[in-house]
Chains A and B, each alone.
Chain A
Amino acid sequence: MTPNAVSTDSRRSTPSRSGSGQSRRGFLASTAVAAAVAAGGAPLLTACGGGGSGSGKKDGTTTGKDAAKLLPAFVASTVVAPDIAPKNGSAAGFTRAIPGAELKASVTGRRGKGGALTIMAPFWGPPPAPDNPYYKAMNEAIGVRATWQNQDGNVYDQKLGAVLASSEIPDVVVVPGWNLGGRIPSAVDAKFEDLGPYLSGDKVKAYPNLAAIPTDAWQRSIFGGTLRGLPMPASYVTNIAPFYRKDLFDAKGWQLPKNADEFLALAKEITSAKAKVWACGDMTWTAYNMFGVLSGSDKALGWNLVDGKLVNRIETPEYLEALEWTRKLFDAGVVHPDEKTQNQGDTGNRFTAGQCLIYNNDLSHWYAKTSEQAARNASFAMAAMDIPGHAGGLPKLWATNPANIWAFIRKGSSKAVIEDALAVADFTAAPYGTKERMLTDYGVEGVHHTVKNGLPVKTDKGNQEVSSSWMFVASPAPYIAHPDTPEVTRAMTEWQQRMGAVTSKSSFYGMTVTEPSRWTGLMNDFEQLEKDIVRGRKKVSDMQQAVSEWKTKGGDELRDWYRKLLDTNGSAAS
């Protein structure tokens, strides 16, 4: 119930930045991360856990059967039926606001025991003041005394490293997937509590909202062979949507492209440098999807078993073809000239200004840009085109991670603290249409929001105090709910469903893999090289050379390492 772009599905990229300067590190929020360092280089497969509870050490010998013992039972929430049911891995869609009187309760009574909790989480923007009425209302409703330590999200990885090395670890620590670099995965294993005794199997049923979190997300929450994380679930369907200016396309009668060649031809038709209109921004990410390149959002997701051999995305012909095609766009002059210089302005601004009519970004931009423009450009309309296959027909898309932010509870916490933290998680994981969700997203009516035309609208106080950090402790199954723009909600959900239908899961889907430290930096230079190639500063053959060097410097060994992991554990993809 959140006009303020509140939906668990779009929030997974909260810290992302738009614009040509966007990096995959920031945007997809996990690329730089995927290879985390394992102490001593021991292979760690954390998704398929088993044994070793609380030891913080795993040698990658766990099996899917053991993982099944750790995973919480799934009990779907039936509190409120979505207007658009989830399908093909999409989020659920809620197109209407539910009046306060009709809100259901998903939690009976106050679950907390009134204990004090400190919670550390990243925050982007000015954090709310401590002890503000919103925090008080949340604490009161849950039955805890939570104190937030909101830290600057931009340097959170460094703060996290320092805090985890110290002796003063907060009771609950939020860890985004993109901060799982360096020694942090080892610290996660060593410093955080095993939640298996509280949540595995049917035990989770004591927390009905946590029981309704999809199993995929829980599987990603197994670290070091132990269920340690409380996940923030996300749809596994790609979140990179190619947006176009529907108003201008309709006016000009342009048809959406059905393959890569049509895209280029259309781009040439649209571009008129004289009129300061260019067809698109940097479309590399869309090119990857059009050409069926394995996901680059996580290092483990970039590997896939093909004809009995593990191949990495950078070794595939599709990868080179996608780069070559994007380079053609730049060469043809259909890309906005500012895109050639990285970090030069915001592509989204150029899109709304009508200087660039196609750009790709997180799906959440659909709502954000639409609501932003509603007040100033009544004719503005945007939509996401279905990603075409490069040769026509349907594309082959690859699944992204079903969870990428977790909350952990400090190891050695008392049972009371753990249960209080789980009470917070159960509350914040309440589904759309419940009193708990409404309070979490909107605060107190009359104080933090008012209801206008049936829609809750935050007050100034609400904008200052209502903090999305609570969602990081745990969230419900992915959903999209923008009742102020129901047509956008429907379009976003249905786009996910269509793209989900052509989405496959690669060999390490759903697994949290910790690579040995000696290979952590192997792929560091590839992102810049990709940018240089598509912009014509380097040749495609330079990429072939880089891949060749990558193989000799450890890529082949890494392949063997992943292969061993796969042979031992099997794929989690279903």
Chain B
Amino acid sequence: MTRSLAANRRPQTTGRPARSRWAAPARPVWEEPPGRTGLAAKGAVLVLACLAVLFPLWIVVVTSLSTKKTITETGGLVVVPRDITFIAYQELLSGGQVTRAAVVSVLVTLTGTVFSMTVSILCAYGLSRPGSLGHRFILLTLMATMFFGAGLIPTYLLVQTLGLTDTYLALILPSAVSVFNILVLRGFFMGVSPELVDSARIDGAGDLRILWQIVMPLSRAVIAVITLFYAVGYWSAWFNASIYLSDQNMMPLQNVLIQLAQKQEIPVGLGQAVKAGNLSGLAVQMAVMVLALLPVAVLSPFVQKHFRKGMLTGAVKG
């Protein structure tokens, strides 16, 4: 026993792998626990990857907090913080314009997301049930819209004819439903065990009850992901407002932020230049980016845990 153990150990102590390990590996090398070097390399790669993401964000935040003097001296983007000032944020948030636009954006995002999710879930559930009336035709029709768009002018004419221009509905209805999102939801719903659905049906549950009490609770991951997709879409949207709205008081946050960022690029006279003092156009632009990113950055971690599962399911089923 002792001899045999020693014999087994020998190849390892001499650094030669046992022949049997090469011939029939128990599992692939990448599934082996990494050694110290491997761990260090992995850690380094992850740190670098994080830095690659965080460094630009750092620059954005620091530049937004910099004075005009600092920005001029660095010739643009600031890496090392100096003379921190919140003047760019004060400029953006004073006057009530941004506050009003933020309220508009929040309301549009909430209403739009609820509406979009309701329509998408109902549609996806219908399409996921085998044998539902005309589901193949409806599915193909929906998919056709992914490849053939009407174009801006026909869409504008439709929105105008429906009397939606200069209404908040113009910010929601034209982009309310994403066929891609419906397909992802449908793929997930189709994976719900048919036995569960059948037993619920035997117990007398109708489709709405099955959807609400069986399918949706089992699909929280994908619903969270799609909700995020829609919410980010509504929050970030600016083009529809540019095209369909003329009333400045109705503009959502993104449009107002774009306008404010542009304002800072307009040259001013001596009087204004003195008055503007520490305010830099670039700082305002960076502050605009921070404000626009903030809600998404805050929201994302809460749905992050669902993200992988939700996306993977949508990707492999359909």
- Do the two chains belong together in a single complex? yes
Residues of A within 8 A of B (CB): 2-5, 17, 124-127, 129-130, 149-155, 158-159, 161-162, 165-166, 168, 338, 345-346, 349-350, 352-353, 355-356, 364, 367-368, 371-372, 374-377, 452, 455, 457-458, 463, 482, 484-485
Give the segment of B133-141, B209-217, B239-247 that binds chain A.
B239-247
A364 touches B76 (CB 8 A): no
Is residue B1 contacting chain A, with contact meaning CB distance below 8 A?
no
Given A3-B271, A376-B72; A168-B160 close (CB under 8 Å): yes
B266 touches A125 (CB 8 A): yes
Is residue B156 contacting chain A, with contact meaning CB distance below 8 A?
yes
The CA of A452 and the CA of B243, in the complex, are separated in Å by 41
Given A3-B271, A165-B156; A349-B263 close (CB under 8 Å): no
The CA of A364 and the CA of B265, in the complex, are separated in Å by 13
Chain A residue contacts of B263, Cβ below 8 A: 124-126
Q: Add 13 more A-B contacts to A161-B153, A349-B76 (CB < 8 A).
A: A2-B269, A126-B97, A126-B248, A130-B248, A155-B243, A158-B243, A161-B152, A166-B160, A168-B160, A338-B76, A345-B76, A353-B75, A372-B268
Sample 16 A-B pairs with CB under 8 A, ordered by A number.
A125-B263, A130-B248, A149-B246, A152-B242, A154-B242, A162-B152, A162-B157, A162-B243, A166-B156, A349-B282, A368-B267, A372-B267, A372-B268, A375-B273, A376-B72, A458-B271
The CA of A168 and the CA of B271, in the complex, are separated in Å by 42
The CA of A477 and the CA of B267, in the complex, are separated in Å by 22
Size range of the chain B interface in the assembly: 35 or more
Instruction: Quote the shortest CB–CB distance from B153 to chain A (angstroms).
Output: 5
Which residue from B77, B259, B266, B277 sits with its C-beta under 8 Å from A375? Answer: B277
Given A127-B259, A155-B243, A349-B72; A458-B272 close (CB under 8 Å): yes
Instruction: Quote the shortest CB–CB distance from B157 to chain A (angstroms).
Output: 6
Is residue B5 contacting chain A, with contact meaning CB distance below 8 A?
no
Chain B residue contacts of A457, Cβ below 8 A: 269-272
The CA of A371 and the CA of B156, in the complex, are separated in Å by 43
Chain A residue contacts of B270, Cβ below 8 A: 3, 371, 374-375, 457, 484-485
Chain A residue contacts of B272, Cβ below 8 A: 4, 457-458, 463
Q: Tally of A-B residue pairs with Cβ under 8 A?
A: 128
B282 touches A346 (CB 8 A): yes
Chain B residue contacts of A452, Cβ below 8 A: 271
Is residue B262 contacting chain A, with contact meaning CB distance below 8 A?
yes
The CA of A162 and the CA of B269, in the complex, are separated in Å by 36
B267 touches A367 (CB 8 A): yes
Instruction: Quote the shortest CB–CB distance from A167 to chain B (angstroms).
Output: 8
Interface SS of chain B: helix
- CB-CB contacts below 8 Å: B272-306 with A: 272-274, 276-277, 282
Which residue from A152, A158, A159 sits with its C-beta under 8 Å from B255? Answer: A152
Residues of B within 8 A of A (CB): 68-69, 71-77, 97, 152-153, 156-157, 160, 239, 242-243, 246-249, 255-256, 258-260, 262-263, 265-274, 276-277, 282
A155 touches B239 (CB 8 A): yes
The CA of A452 and the CA of B274, in the complex, are separated in Å by 14
Q: What are the 9 A-B residue pairs with the smallest beta carbon separation, nearest first?
A: A3-B269, A368-B267, A457-B271, A345-B76, A162-B156, A125-B263, A353-B75, A126-B259, A350-B75
B268 touches A371 (CB 8 A): yes
Chain B's closest residue to A370 (CB) is: B270
Instruction: Quote the shortest CB–CB distance from B275 to chain A (angstroms).
Output: 9
The CA of A152 and the CA of B239, in the complex, are separated in Å by 10
Chain B residue contacts of A127, Cβ below 8 A: 248, 259
Given A346-B76, A376-B68, A484-B269; A151-B259 close (CB under 8 Å): no
Which residue from A130, A162, A364, A375 sits with its C-beta under 8 Å from B274? Answer: A375
The CA of A26 and the CA of B69, in the complex, are separated in Å by 28
The CA of A159 and the CA of B244, in the complex, are separated in Å by 8
Chain A residue contacts of B274, Cβ below 8 A: 374-375
The CA of A203 and the CA of B3, in the complex, are separated in Å by 118
Chain B residue contacts of A130, Cβ below 8 A: 247-248
Given A159-B242, A353-B75; A165-B157 close (CB under 8 Å): yes
A376 touches B69 (CB 8 A): yes
Given A161-B153, A353-B74, A353-B75; A124-B262 close (CB under 8 Å): yes
The CA of A152 and the CA of B73, in the complex, are separated in Å by 32
Instruction: Quote the shortest CB–CB distance from B14 to chain A (angstroms).
Output: 53
A371 touches B273 (CB 8 A): yes
B76 touches A350 (CB 8 A): yes
The CA of A338 and the CA of B77, in the complex, are separated in Å by 11
Chain B residue contacts of A374, Cβ below 8 A: 270, 273-274
Chain A's closest residue to B255 (CB) is: A152
B267 touches A162 (CB 8 A): no
The CA of A4 and the CA of B243, in the complex, are separated in Å by 30
B243 touches A159 (CB 8 A): yes
- The residue among A125, A345, A355, A457 with the most chain B CB atoms within 10 A of its own CB is A125
Chain B's closest residue to A484 (CB) is: B270
Instruction: Quote the shortest CB–CB distance from B83 to chain A (angstroms).
Output: 13
A355 touches B269 (CB 8 A): no
Which residue from B74, B242, B258, B266 sits with its C-beta under 8 Å from A151? Answer: B242
Chain A's closest residue to B69 (CB) is: A376
- The residue among A5, A126, A368, A485 with the most chain B CB atoms within 10 A of its own CB is A126
Given A125-B266, A127-B259, A162-B152; A150-B273 close (CB under 8 Å): no
Chain A's closest residue to B247 (CB) is: A130
B242 touches A349 (CB 8 A): no
The CA of A161 and the CA of B151, in the complex, are separated in Å by 11
Which residue from B77, B247, B269 sits with its C-beta under 8 Å from A371? Answer: B269
The CA of A240 and the CA of B243, in the complex, are separated in Å by 33
The CA of A125 and the CA of B274, in the complex, are separated in Å by 20
Chain A residue contacts of B68, Cβ below 8 A: 376
The CA of A153 and the CA of B255, in the complex, are separated in Å by 12
The CA of A368 and the CA of B264, in the complex, are separated in Å by 12
Chain B residue contacts of A367, Cβ below 8 A: 267
The CA of A350 and the CA of B259, in the complex, are separated in Å by 24
The CA of A371 and the CA of B270, in the complex, are separated in Å by 5
Chain B residue contacts of A154, Cβ below 8 A: 242, 258
A353 touches B73 (CB 8 A): yes
Chain A's closest residue to B73 (CB) is: A353
